[in-house]
Amino acid sequence: MNLNDIYQHLKNDLDYMESWLDREVRSSQKDLEKASSHLLKAGGKRIRPVFVLLSGRFGTYDLEKLARVAAVLELIHMATLVHDDVIDDANTRRGIPTVRSEWGNRMAMYTGDFMFARALLLLSEIPKPEIHQVLSSAIVRVCEGEIEQVRDFYRLNQTFRNYLRRIKRKTAILMEVSCLLGGLVAEANPLHVKSLGRFGYYLGMSFQIIDDILDFTSTEQKLGKPVGADLLQGNITLPVLYALKCTPYDEQLRTLIRRNMTNDQLASAIQLVKQSGGIEYAKKVADLYLEKCIAELHRLPGGQPRDLLEGIARFTTVREF
């Protein structure tokens, strides 16, 4: 079963959630609305809303409540993306111009802030303090992760633990919370809610490591951004860390990885990372997290929701974008 087949099972519910997003980006400030709509129409996997909806099927499924929470999480995710693009000076995302490249950095920052605010306003209509606490805590940790990423740019002496903590806050937390909140809103069995959360966390870790591998192994056409873009901006990911710490290529890499790398230096650095075995090492780590996430799934009741979650999890390790 491929990702499109999985999403077809949720098409009507995802379309309903999408209508929430369309409403939430409307504004009396038309430039702000245009910038927000531009980001929304860029598409994406909508994986966080999918996790909310599928997790909700382990309890009492109420589409109105679940779609609201799914929209909140996607708005927060999109806000982090538009802020990321400012930090990274990114001109394209998913193959289309970023908000910052079309409207400038200032408008991009306000667009991200607007989406955060719309998410919080939508969340305020949900009368469940536990949900507010879980999501607010997650937003704090996501922001901390973004700051850690900026701090660690070009930092070649960082540890594996630094990297894992950073991707936990950058990616895994929102996936964990998507699954947790789906279960909480549906009032699922508390033990099942915990397993859903752990599933989301482990999958988020695997997902981000695969993303970091694709920066070296995919193509610009598939990624929607140049190959090596993360390394060019100084983002030291797991394949690079392995090459720096566990192979004889460390000295060569240290002379290449610097601010304002030339295209030739970047190409040489990418080649060294590939030769070092860093890609294979990172894939093994991603697979370990995948095994843990599948183990958590098998603590849940069998049936279509569990099968669909497992299908998504297995897709993450073979995807090319």
Strands 92-93 and 96-97: antiparallel
CATH superfamily of 3-318: Farnesyl Diphosphate Synthase (1.10.600.10)
Q: What residue ranges do the domains of the chain occupy?
A: 3-318
Cβ-Cβ contacts under 8 Å for 292 (sequence gap 6 or more): 198, 202
Convert the pLDDT of each residue in 153-168 to its tens digit.
999 999 999 999 999 9
Percent pLDDT > 70 in the chain is 100
Q: What is the pLDDT of residue 136?
A: 92
Residue 280 phi/psi, 5-degree rounding, is: -65, -40
* 3-class DSSP assignment, residue 152: coil
Cα–Cα dist 44/96, whole Å: 12
Span 268-296, average pLDDT: 97
Span 261-283, average pLDDT: 97
Q: Which residues of 32-63 are buried (b: 16+ CB within 10 A; e: fewer)?
A: bebbbebbbebeebbbbbbbbbbbbbbbebee
Cα–Cα dist 261/53, whole Å: 43
Rounded to two decimals, the pTM is 0.94
| pLDDT band, very low/low/confident/very high, at 45 (cuts 50, 70, 90) | confident
pLDDT at 43 over 70: yes
Q: What is the pLDDT of residue 95?
A: 79
pLDDT at 44 over 90: no
